[in-house]
Amino acid sequence: MKEHRKALSVLLVAAMTLSTCGCSAKFEDGVIDQADKLGKLIQDRDYKKIEKMAEDGDKDLESVLALSTDTSELDNDAREVIASTLTYEVDEDSFEGDFFGKEGSIDVTFTYVDYEKAIEDITIFEDLDAFEAAIEDCDDTVEKTITFEFVNDGGTPVCSNIGDIADLFPYAKDEFNFALSRENYAGEVEFDGLNNGNGYIDTESISCHIDILGDGQELTWNYYYVVECYDVNLYTSGVTESTSSDRLDAEYSEYDILDDGNYVFTFYTEDDVLLGTGSVQVTHTEVTPTPTPAPSSGSGSASVGPYYVSPADGIIALPDTNLTINLPTGHACIYADNPALATVFGSNSDVMQNLVFFAVDLFNGAGAFAMRLPGVSIDSPDALSSLDDIAAQYVPDDGSSVTYSQDYTIGDRTFTVTTLEITESSGAVTYCNFALIGDDDACYLLYFYSENTNNIDTFMGGITAS
């Protein structure tokens, strides 16, 4: 009987041992599975689901996983970029647990980009794309292993140290240097080479610059500038990339000494953000020759007649008609005493006496003018003959030309623009445009140059009838 009880006891112990070993193995499998699920949730930074797998919650971890602070939105987005590089691997062989399957641990190795190395040589980021590119280009990584502790909760392993997850996000509150709007790095407009106190005298050009301040010197600057004088636009530059890291430059010049006036330079970014504006006064010295030479016919010194005007705003009313010409942006009227008039028209005193205006197109160096045809009506043969004579002077000796016309209605009249399309031997194409405008009482010959046919619409669109 005694031997029978001993044998029964051995069988019971063996049965309990087998049962315990089964629970332990099941617990180990559960821990491995839970560790893998936990790794995925950490990648997703899903605190709510992580908390459900934990013995206790951790509010500090919830804050860390949010990767959001009250700094700029770009900083928050940058942290998201780093977090997106996180990967993990569960080391199944690292499992350690007690004999009864009540608790155990397992190692999970996490890897993410070494963001500190990725950005260590970058002073400032233009935008989030630039930050993301730096992270993507970095091959260095950080590797961290977390030993997760699990306890058996009714047959389900739950993690007892989720607070260690925070170690994977040391950048959770880091701030990164993203560029501010460009105007924050722009200094004041400063004029170069002043020769008359705070202004210029007898100058053919004006140059100025804006200093680029601080971190702005690390950025790429695409900008343009506008030059005005008494609210008349003289020049608008194209968008250009600054060739200097510490300043933006601007220049305005003409073929002769600049007219008196207050010249205003305004700088803009390529997307029209105002960077700065400044103005400078320009004057010139009046020189009276001694003795004063007498004009001679055909010498290029003829003076203009009574019709000539040079309004700063480029708006010209044609005498004895109801027509007004509003010159396109970029055209500047030449003053009556400007030597350019004598250079261009001085050999023909009849033209000078009947000239209404002469304007320079500052964008391409060409020009426009109108002259009265005295004693003729707009539809007379003499008017048409004068137009043909003028147009013939523009036909090139070298190259080819084609003539065509198009009508424009202004008020109750229709005027014809005759265009001489000139193809030079180099292949360059330009357009010389002529029109007779006016009425039966006063007729004017209008000429203007254009680089493409669309400019004809712009010029003629500025003519109105009252």
pLDDT tens digits, 213-244: 999 999 999 999 999 998 889 999 999 999 88
Give the whole-number percent of the chain exceeding pLDDT 90. 47
Topology classification of domain 315-465: Protein Transport Mog1p; Chain A (3.40.1000)
Model confidence at 271, pLDDT cuts 50, 70, 90, reads very high
| Alpha-carbon torsion (344, 347, 349, 351), positive or negative | negative
175-214 pLDDT tens trace:
999 999 999 999 999 999 998 888 999 999 999 999 999 9
Q: What is the pairing mode between strands 232-236 and 200-201?
A: unpaired
Rounded to 5°, angle at Cα 15 from 10 and 16: 100
Pick the CATH number of 182-283 from 3.30.360.10, 3.40.50.720, 2.60.40.1930, 3.20.20.80: 2.60.40.1930
Per-residue model confidence (pLDDT) at position 447: 86
**What integer pLDDT is reported at residue 453 of this predicted model?**
61
Residue 254 has pLDDT above 70, yes or no: yes
> H/E element holding 35?
helix 2-44
Provide the phi-psi class of 155: left if phi over 0, else alpha when psi is between -120 and 50, else beta: left
Average pLDDT over residues 368-372: 89
Beta-carbon contacts of 142 under 8 Å, excluding residues fewer than 6 positions away, are 111, 112, 113, 114
pLDDT for 11: 45
Q: In terms of Cα–Cα distance, which of 306, 323, 325, 307 is closest to 315?
A: 325
Domain boundaries, the chain: 24-168, 182-283, 315-465
Instruction: Quote the mean pLDDT of the chain.
Output: 84
Tell me, what's the pLDDT at 298? 37
**What are the start-end ranges of the H helices in 325-410?**
339-345, 349-354, 381-392
Res 12: pLDDT: 45
Name the pTM for this structure: 0.54
Q: CA dist 391 to 25, 230, 403, 435, 454, Å?
A: 103, 35, 10, 10, 20
pLDDT at 102: 86
| Residues 278-288, mean pLDDT to the nearest whole number | 81
- pLDDT for 110 equals 96
Mean pLDDT for the stretch of residues 154-173? 92
Q: Judge whether residue 296 has pLDDT over 70.
A: no
Which pLDDT band holds residue 43 (cuts at 50, 70, 90)?
very high
182-283 shares its CATH topology with 315-465 = no
* Per-residue model confidence as pLDDT tens digits over 1-13: 555 455 445 444 4
Lowest mean pLDDT among 24-28, 55-59, 301-305, 333-337: 301-305
Confidence band for 396, pLDDT divided at 50, 70 and 90: low
The string of pLDDT tens digits covering residues 114-162 is 999 999 999 899 899 999 999 999 999 999 999 999 999 888 899 999 9
Rounded to whole angstroms, the Cα distance separating 377 from 392 reads 21
Instruction: Give residue-wise pLDDT tens across range 44-92.
Output: 999 999 999 998 889 999 999 999 988 889 999 999 999 999 999 999 9
Q: What pLDDT, on a 0 to 100 scale, did the predictor assign at position 18?
A: 43
The answer, yes or no, to whether residue 294 has pLDDT greater than 60, is: no
d(CA 318, CA 298): 27
**3-class secondary-structure state, position 288:** coil
Which of the four pLDDT bands, split at 50, 70 and 90, describes residue 343?
confident
